[in-house]
Amino acid sequence: MTHRTLLCATLVALSFAAPLRAQTQQQIDWCSSPTATDAQTIEGCLAMIQSGRYSGKSLSSVYDDLGFAYEDLKDYEKALQYYGTAISLNPQNGQALYNRGNVYFTKGQYDQALSDYTQSIAVRPNYAQAFNNRGNTYRHQGDFTKALADFNQAIVLNPNYGLALKNRGETKLANGDTAGGNADLARARQLDPSLFK
């Protein structure tokens, strides 16, 4: 699992503030660790939730991590449930909005995905991945103009973003811009050859 949203130092500090209930330091670490298995993440996050010691933004981040573990397991209904809880606890949780958007995209619910990506961008205007994924959603809906605008912004924010360059190149080709599309694809291949395997 590659992206986590918990402020680990804050949670570690909280974990020593009072005797723990129904959780261990290892479980706390598992909830937010990028190297934990999905099962470990679920165990750790549930222990933190059941402890009753977290609230607000901290608890929102725990639910976001829990949702991501279920998304990784392709249990999309549980992922949506936990992302929804994360967002209800903290409507400014741009990561949870982005993650829920990814689940909606995977399920082909493009309008819901667009809504979540747009809200994520409103909270985190420099979030290149959200622009890329919203652009990809527009592309799937056949709106190449909006797709290209979002891919452009993603690349402005991260000029070495290989996936955004690949997506923009494919969109340019579909829109009749052969030279521009091939240039983007060549640059994407140079940056990240694994995108073309």
CATH number at residue 176: 1.25.40.10
Segment 49-63 shows an average pLDDT of 95
For 39-55, the pLDDT digits (tens) are: 999 999 999 999 999 99
Segment 89-98 shows an average pLDDT of 98
How high is the pLDDT of residue 21? Answer: 53
Instruction: Please say if the pLDDT value at position 20 is more than 50.
Output: no
How high is the pLDDT of residue 7? Answer: 38
Please give the residue range of the domain that contains residue 168. Answer: 127-197
Q: With b meaning 16 or more CB within 10 Å and e meaning fewer, what string describes 85-110?
A: bbbebbeebbbbbbbbbbbbbeeebb
CA distances for 93 relative to 20, 28, 62, 76, 78, angstroms: 26, 20, 11, 19, 18
Residue 180 lies in a domain: yes
Residue 46 lies in a domain: no
Q: Please, what sign has the CA dihedral across residues 175, 140, 127, 189? A: negative
* Nearest in space to 84 (alpha carbons), one of 34, 50, 71: 71
Average pLDDT in the chain: 91
Residue 84 lies in a domain: no
Residue 5 lies in a domain: no
How high is the pLDDT of residue 15? Answer: 42
* pTM, two decimal places: 0.86
Residue 161 lies in a domain: yes
Instruction: Please say if the pLDDT value at position 5 is more than 50.
Output: no
Q: How many domains does the chain have?
A: 1
